[in-house]
């Protein structure tokens, strides 16, 4: 049990690494929290550094979910429900970074990283849906909300139609997928309001 809590702490600390803040600080010498939307996330990195910055930020933020979950599952062989908690710790770290006084991004890239390990099909579907809607509309927030919906829908569809379900198709991951949907909707509540009244900023 003690080792499990150490893994949770490790996952939270990895999730807390403010790569987006660091990227902008190193390349431009400015505080990302004082530019654009003020959000230390990948979309705001794009406003400052363009597409190369967005790609770099996404990869780094996704790896914050990939590394702890992969270690928990394939190295420490934790049960699936504990692996989902490790993933949750990484996501919480990204959103409430101890290194940024408990401020952070909205968790989308890290969530995709978690699901790329738990179930690559779901992680890939979420990434593709975000990218599709973002490129079509210019609204990253809209793409994020679509990706959030795709995660539980794909999870359930895989359980129904896959003749040989894996551990990733188990109930803990299904519950986790719905919690992720709720988290993304909550973290984008202000964006939803702006999308509805036509004042959301494109990135």
In the predicted structure, residue 167 carries a pLDDT above the cut 60: no
Whether 63 and 42 have beta carbons less than 8 Å apart is answered as: no
pTM assigned to the model: 0.92
Q: pLDDT tens digit string along 53-64?
A: 999 999 999 999
Q: pLDDT tens digit string along 33-49?
A: 999 888 999 999 999 99
In this predicted structure, what is the pLDDT of residue 169? 60
């Amino acid at each position: 049990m003690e080792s499990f809590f150490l893994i949770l702490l490790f996952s939270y600390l990895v999730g807390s690494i403010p790569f987006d803040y660091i990227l902008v600080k190193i390349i431009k010498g400015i505080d990302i929290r004082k530019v654009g939307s003020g959000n230390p996330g990948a979309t705001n990195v794009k406003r400052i550094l363009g597409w190369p910055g967005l790609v770099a930020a996404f990869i780094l933020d996704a790896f914050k979910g990939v590394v702890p979950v992969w270690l928990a599952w394939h190295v420490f062989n934790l049960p699936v429900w504990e692996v989902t908690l490790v993933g949750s710790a990484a996501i919480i770290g990204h959103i409430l970074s101890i290194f940024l006084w408990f401020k952070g991004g909205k968790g989308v890239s890290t969530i995709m990283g978690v699901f790329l390990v738990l179930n690559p099909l779901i992680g890939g579907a979420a990434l593709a849906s975000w990218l599709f809607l973002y490129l079509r509309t210019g609204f990253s927030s809209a793409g994020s909300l679509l990706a959030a919906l795709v995660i539980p829908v794909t999870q359930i569809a895989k359980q129904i139609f896959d003749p040989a379900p894996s551990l990733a198709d188990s109930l803990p991951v299904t519950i986790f997928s719905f919690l992720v949907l709720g988290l993304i909707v909550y973290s984008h509540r202000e964006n939803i309001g702006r999308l509805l009244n036509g004042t959301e900023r494109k990135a």
